[in-house]
Structure 1
Amino acid sequence: MDFEYEPGRLFHRNETGQVDAEILFPAIENGRVWSIDSTIVAPELRGQGVASQLLAAVIERAQAADVKLRPICSYAKKKFMTTPAYQKLEWHNPD
C-alpha cells in the first residue's frame, strides 16, 4: 500500500479521496524524537496489516533521519514491546 507523507503524518486515501488510514508522529525534543501519537485504520481495512505497514514506514523514515521514536498510542506501544528491532529506536526520557 502506498502512503502519502506530510511532516509528522503518513496516510492513505481511498478511491473517493477520504483518509482511511493514518499515523501521526510529530517531532519533539527539538526534532531529535518523533512521538507516535496515533494510528488509525478504517474498519474496512482492519485485519490487512495496514497499521503494521504504517508503523514500518515510520520506522524506516526514522532510521533514515537518525531520530528516536516515542511510542504513545496503544498500537505502537504494543509493537515496540514485542519487536526487538523497534526497541533499539525507542527514546527514553532522561528525566
Structure 2
Amino acid sequence: MKDGAPAHETPEVGEVVWRDDIGVTCRRWNWRQGVRTRLGADATQMWFILESLPAMPLAALHEAGDQLTRGLLEMMPGAVIESTLIGFDPR
C-alpha cells in the first residue's frame, strides 16, 4: 500500500528488505509493511524486533522494549510476553 492505495514496487539494487518465500514483506529498514504480513485483531502470536546502533545506550533499548511491553499489556491484558537480548557485544 502507498498513500492508501495498492501499489507494486521493486526494491532498488542494494536496498535492505525483509522477505519470505513469497516475496518482499518490508522495505527500507521496516518503515512500510505490506497488507499480507500486517498484524490484525485476530493475531495470537506476534514477534517484534527492536534494534539499536552502537551509539544508542543499551538502557535506551531496554526502555523502548519496556514501553512496548507496557503498551501491549494495556491493549491485551493477560498477554504472555517473552523478551530476549541477542547479539550484544559489550566491547
TM-score interval for Structure 1 and Structure 2 normalised by the shorter chain: 0.3 to 0.5
The alignment's TM-score, normalised by the length of structure 1, stands at 0.36
CA radius of gyration, larger in: 2
Say which structure is richer in strand. Answer: 1
The alignment's TM-score, normalised by the length of structure 2, stands at 0.38
Q: Higher relative contact order at CA 8 Å, sep ≥6: structure 1 or structure 2?
A: 1
